[in-house]
Structure 1
Amino acid sequence: MTAVDFNGFPTAALDFYDDLEMDNSKAFWEEHKGVYRDAVRRPFEALMAALEPQFGTAKIFRPYRDVRFAKDKTPYKTHQGAFVAVAPATGWYFELSPRGTRVGAGFYEASGPRLAAVREAMADDKDGPALARLLKKYEKDGWEVGGDRLKTAPRGFTADHPRIELLRHKQLFVGRPYGFEADAIGADLVERVRSDWESLRPLLTWLTTRPKAD
């Protein structure tokens, strides 16, 4: 597929997830799986194919939830996501849901050693301020900085550390919602995602070059 193959997401894609939130059942899925295939999956594949030359191959997530250890046993995800990895659980993200589309990038989970390396880089007097400045710039430009955080200081760091808010992160990602206006789901979406993913590249560069794992 090429960029011209992506013609946007039809409103049926948003309607599909609206309805799935109301009736998350196998019966609904079986009746509407053709809508998922044509309105969600195929445009998703075309969009990711258009972005692949610049960013790499995307993993388009399966629509099924892993309910083995979950209290919530509803079988289907009420959104569709894709991820382009540049390191374990680190990379660019795109999502379609009843609330429209959104983009982001960052690290979404980390093993103990990797998280420790990230925090050491955050604490470093050169690398840490560089990340703080980068995140501040993203926020000024309208991005949202998120990720699960500890309520207290992580082990080995004091609560009065100058970058304690950064150090509390167990995940760190930057993203923004597009909504469901024409430029959020239409054919021009590919260029919007391309531009925003490129603007998030400095964050991924920091996350893949500054932390030094043992």
Structure 2
Amino acid sequence: MAFTGFPTDAIEFYEQLAADNSRAFWAENKDRFVTSVKQPMVELTDALDDYGPFHLFRPHNDMRFSKNRPPYKTHQGAYGESEGGAGHYLQLSADGLMAAAGYYAMAKDQLKRFREAIVAPATGEEIAGLVADVEGREYSVGAIGELKTAPRGYDRDHPRIALLRRKGLMLSKDFGARRWLHTKQVERKVRDCWEGAAEVCAWLDAHVGPSTEPPDDRPF
């Protein structure tokens, strides 16, 4: 089926799950999750397949390593990665819709290339300018994390130290739960977000690219 928007019950489902994150609630409401959340997300990612293919994250938290986590995630995420390496991400929660693009978590080999490109005058000034531009267009700039100081071997007083400290470079927009969330306008809003991040993604693909590290050595 073609994507026509997320039903209002999608937001209500996550509001209620946040209040009662239990197996009993999930068992009673799993059909709502499938109908109101999962199926529309599949339809949306199908419509955005030129940025995919997309992987939908499972709704269950991994309880093997943390007994304090709730059993179910309070959001539904979907992720697609281009041949060049840039990722495109969607997330629906009680807060509404978020879209992001870039390299959220870089492996060791990617970080090495990223930092070398930042300190090189031409490429470093280019990405600093691109990041300043997207910040001016109300994108949030983030990553999986950042160092408290300069990476080993780099000057802590470097003019682009804020970029050097990052462990990734991801641009995002939080749209909230706007009325258009329940219409097919969602696809256009997401495309506009990703298109607005395209120059940064192109820089990352050109100067960082996919990791060649074994999967177990990557930070995700």
TM-score bracket, normalised by the shorter chain, equals over 0.9
CA positional deviation for 1:87 = 5.9
CA positional deviation for 1:71 = 4.7
Identity rate, percent: 39
Alignment of 1:179-194 (within 5 A): 179-194=176-191
Give 1:132's aligned amino acid: A
4+ runs deviating over 6 angstroms: none
- Judged with a 3 Å threshold, the aligned counterparts in structure 2 of structure 1 residues 17 and 151 are, in CA distance, closer, same or farther, namely same
More moved, 85-94 vs 145-154: 85-94
Aligned residues of 1:120 and 1:211 also touching (Cα < 8 A)? no
- Judged with a 3 Å threshold, the aligned counterparts in structure 2 of structure 1 residues 136 and 185 are, in CA distance, closer, same or farther, namely farther
TM-score, normalising length: structure 1 = 0.92
- Alpha-carbon distance in 2 for matches of 1:177, 1:50: 20
- 2:120 matches 1:115: no
Secondary structure (helix, strand or coil) at the match of 2:48 reads helix
CA positional deviation for 1:59 = 0.9
Structure 1 unaligned residues grouped into runs of 5+: none
- 2:207 matches 1:210: yes
Aligned residues of 1:89 and 1:110 also touching (Cα < 8 A)? no
Structure 2 unaligned residues grouped into runs of 5+: 213-220
Aligned residues of 1:89 and 1:109 also touching (Cα < 8 A)? no
Q: Quick one: which of 84, 91, 100 aligns to 2:87?
A: 91
Aligned residues of 2:21 and 2:72 also touching (Cα < 8 A)? yes
Q: Quick one: which of 148, 152, 168 aligns to 1:151?
A: 148
For the aligned residue pairs, the C-alpha RMSD in angstroms reads 1.8
Give 2:89's aligned amino acid: Y
TM-score, normalising length: structure 2 = 0.90
Name the residue aligned to 2:47: 50
- Judged with a 3 Å threshold, the aligned counterparts in structure 2 of structure 1 residues 39 and 89 are, in CA distance, closer, same or farther, namely farther
Secondary structure (helix, strand or coil) at the match of 1:126 reads helix
Aligned residues of 1:56 and 1:84 also touching (Cα < 8 A)? yes
Give 1:68's aligned amino acid: R
Deviations 1:108-143 (A, max 9, x none): 212212111111111111111111111111011111
- Alpha-carbon distance in 2 for matches of 1:143, 1:56: 22
More moved, 19-28 vs 34-43: 19-28
CA positional deviation for 1:70 = 2.1
- Alpha-carbon distance in 1 for matches of 2:35, 2:146: 38
